[in-house]
Amino acid sequence: MSTESEIWQLLEEVKDPEVPVLSILDLGIVRSVKTTDHKIEIVITPTYSGCPAMDVIAMDIRLKLIEKGYRNVSITQQLSPAWTTDWMTEVGKQKLKAYGIAPPNPKQQFCSTDMFQQEAVQCPRCNSYHTELISQFGSTACKALYRCLDCKEAFDYFKCH
């Protein structure tokens, strides 16, 4: 197995510290992995500008690679093109749902400044679309808070971005 594909496999083991069921590959934030003689260069894209998980993720990547003997690692952050929830993998979306967080809808008209838009968000527990927004900002910057009007559960929605 080439070093590069081994690195990709190791990155699958690095989890989002705030949503630990998602790997950073599920999240779609790893832009590239480049290996030269003894150096590994990894480029990641931040999700939100102020997301405190980004520093932790960079450190976790480093630790995971050191564990396997890769010491010469550089991790750079690339802002453009800006990360979007459309880069989240289908597997990642399934994992989110199983974890109780509604996965992001495809990026669409709701990612706009238009006021009082109602987005059809599916309840991750009972699959009903009969849900309503409680707050556009939830437990972290990337989530909104919703309520299911059928099963009455409140839930997080990983909002489209």
> Interface with another protein by CB under 8 A: which range of 27-35, 44-52, 61-69, 124-132?
44-52
Give CA 49 to chain center in angstroms: 14
Q: Applying CB under 8 A, which of residues 34, 48, 106, 132 lies at the interface with another protein?
A: 48
Q: Applying CB under 8 A, which of residues 1, 114, 118, 120 lies at the interface with another protein?
A: 114
Q: Is the CB of residue 69 less than 8 Å from the CB of residue 36?
A: no
> Interface with another protein by CB under 8 A: which range of 13-21, 31-39, 120-128, 138-146?
138-146
Identify which of residues 13 and 62 has a Cβ nearer to another protein in the complex: 62
Identify which of residues 125 and 147 has a Cβ nearer to another protein in the complex: 147
Q: Applying CB under 8 A, which of residues 20, 36, 38, 80 lies at the interface with another protein?
A: 80
DSSP state of 1: -
Cα–Cα distances in angstroms (integers) from residue 16 to residues 4, 68, 70, 81, 154, in the given order = 21, 20, 21, 21, 22
Closest listed residue to residue 158, CA positions, set 19, 52, 23: 19
Closest listed residue to residue 61, CA positions, set 27, 32, 35, 24: 24
Subset of residues 94 to 113 that bind another protein, contact rule: CB under 8 A: 111-113
Q: Which residues bind another protein (CB under 8 A)?
A: 46, 48-52, 78-84, 111-117, 134-141, 145, 159, 161
